[in-house]
Structures are given as C-alpha cells and as structure tokens.
C-alpha cells in the first residue's frame, strides 16, 4: 500500500492510455474508413491529376494535427476542439464550434447508416421486420434500425484504448473489401479497364469534396492525442497516417497499372 501511495501521479498516468499501435488503429479507422471507398468515384470525376489535390489535403490534415498538438501542449487542461475554441474566441466560440462539430458527427452517423442499409437491402431485397399485424417495417427502414442497434454498443465505449479493437476490425474490413474487389476483377469476369481522363475540370469540386471525406475524422485528433500513453509519439502516429494514405493511393494506381499490363501481355499471347 505504501509503495502504491508513493507512486508519482505522472508515472501512474503513463501506464494508462493507448499504445502507439492502438492510436494508429484509431487514426486509420477515422481517416481511411468508409471514405476510402469513395476514392474511385472521385478519380472518375476529377481525373488522375486530381490526386494532387488528395496529397495537398493529406498534408493539410497532417499540419493541422501538429498545430492541434502544439495548442494542447501549451495548456494541459485543453482536451478537445471546444477547449481550443474557448481559449481563442471565448464562450461564444465554444458554442459555435460545438454546434458545428455535433452537426457534422450527427450527419456522418446518418450517412453511414443510410449507406449500410442500402447495401444490405441490395443483398436481402425481400427482408422486412414483421410483428403480427401490429408492426411492419420495410427493408430499408428495417436495416437502418438494425444498423443503429448494432452500432449502439460501441457508443458506450469511452476508453479509446478499448475502442482501438473496434477500430482494428474496421481497418481489416477495408482490407477485406479491397481483396474482394481484387478477386471480383480477376475471377468474376468483370475485368480491369485502363480507362480514365487525365483531368476533368468540371468534376474537380466533386473530387475535392470526396477526398475531404477521407479525412472527416479530423475532430477525433484531440481525443487520440489525449488518450495516448506516450504523447511524444503523436508525431510518429501522424506520419504513419499520412504515409498510410499515400500507400493506399499508390496501391490503387499500381494495381490499375498492373492489370493494364497484364491484359496487354495476355492479348499478345492469345493473338
């Protein structure tokens, strides 16, 4: 008991919190989650050169993350965007930022449930919830309800070190989706076509908005930082996230190039 009571508070806090790997899982799930699936449409809308905008947005996200870290280092009581807004603009600034953040997170949650329900409806078009003659819920509405009930338990998790395991499943799910697309292209008869414009000026606004969606998890940066066991590793986590985003795009481009060469090589052999 005596040894525990004499343990410095700083040492106790350092033993708690998320590790480097868990912080990377949380950040990857926030930044490269469902937004990754919108990148192909963004490329088709803005052309290949629109990837330059993606790289610029990634750098801006990294830079603003470092700025947030600097702000939080100057005052240990700062834990969130709201605290930063209050220090900068007072109570009114805190209220305005709170309204904007809560509205964004609310709309993102609604969008995810709609997206999930639409996908499930395509898989199970005849599904519905029916309880006698009292309650009948059609397919799309029933899937929205089921999705909300499945996601709800994760809302009870307030410790990011525990939530990192949920984030890890999201990261692996994205990898499974990419692998599934790969298999469908190779074995499903769909194929990979080396089409696409270099740049489409009219589609650049759409491409930019979709690239920004990839980094819509920016509000969680303060939470990830404050939850880390070793906060000096936050810069390394940020570097990992930016390199991860570049690697994802490079993989998409190399995959497209590989299948273009593969189809060309196959046509030479067959004909």
**Domain ranges, ordered by start, for the chain:** 16-270
User: Which of 64-78, 112-126, 179-193 has the lowest average pLDDT?
Assistant: 179-193
CA distance 115 to 119: 6
In this structure, of 25-29, 143-147, 151-155, 157-161, the range with the lowest mean pLDDT score is 157-161
Q: What pLDDT is recorded for position 236? A: 79
pLDDT over 70, % of the chain: 75
CB 126 within 8 A of CB 120: no
168 by Cβ neighbours in 10 Å (0-12 / 13-18 / 19+) ranks as middle
Stretch (H or E) spanning 227: helix 221-227
User: What's the pTM value of the predicted model, to 2 decimals?
Assistant: 0.66
CB 152 within 8 A of CB 122: no
Q: How far is CA 268 from CA 75, 188, 254, 257, in A?
A: 65, 22, 21, 17
pLDDT of residue 198: 78
pLDDT digits (tens, 9 = 90+) for 45-61: 888 888 888 888 888 88
In the block, tokens 């606004």 appear at: 205
């Amino acid at each position: 008991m005596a040894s525990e009571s004499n343990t410095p508070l700083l040492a106790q806090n350092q033993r708690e919190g998320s590790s480097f790997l868990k912080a990377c899982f949380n950040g990857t799930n926030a930044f490269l989650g469902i937004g990754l699936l919108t990148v192909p449409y963004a490329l088709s809308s803005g052309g290949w050169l629109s990837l330059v905008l993606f790289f610029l947005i990634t750098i801006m996200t990294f830079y603003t993350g470092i700025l947030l870290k600097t702000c939080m280092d100057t005052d240990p009581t700062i834990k969130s965007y709201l605290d930063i807004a209050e220090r900068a603009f007072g109570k009114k600034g805190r209220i305005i930022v709170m309204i904007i953040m809560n509205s964004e997170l609310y709309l993102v949650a609604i969008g995810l449930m709609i997206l999930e329900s639409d996908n499930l409806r395509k898989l199970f078009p005849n599904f519905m919830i029916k309880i006698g003659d009292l309650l009948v819920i059609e397919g799309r509405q029933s899937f929205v309800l089921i999705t909300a009930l499945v996601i709800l338990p994760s809302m009870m998790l307030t410790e990011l070190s525990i939530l990192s395991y949920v984030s890890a499943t999201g990261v692996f799910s994205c990898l499974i989706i990419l692998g599934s697309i790969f298999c469908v292209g190779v074995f499903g008869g769909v194929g990979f076509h080396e089409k696409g414009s270099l740049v489409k000026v009219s589609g650049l606004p759409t491409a930019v908005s979709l690239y920004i969606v990839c980094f819509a998890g920016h509000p969680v940066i303060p939470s990830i930082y404050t939850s880390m066991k070793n906060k000096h590793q936050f810069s390394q986590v940020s570097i990992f996230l930016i390199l991860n985003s570049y690697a994802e795009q490079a993989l998409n481009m190399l995959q497209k190039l590989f299948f273009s060469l593969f189809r060309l090589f196959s046509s030479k052999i067959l004909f």
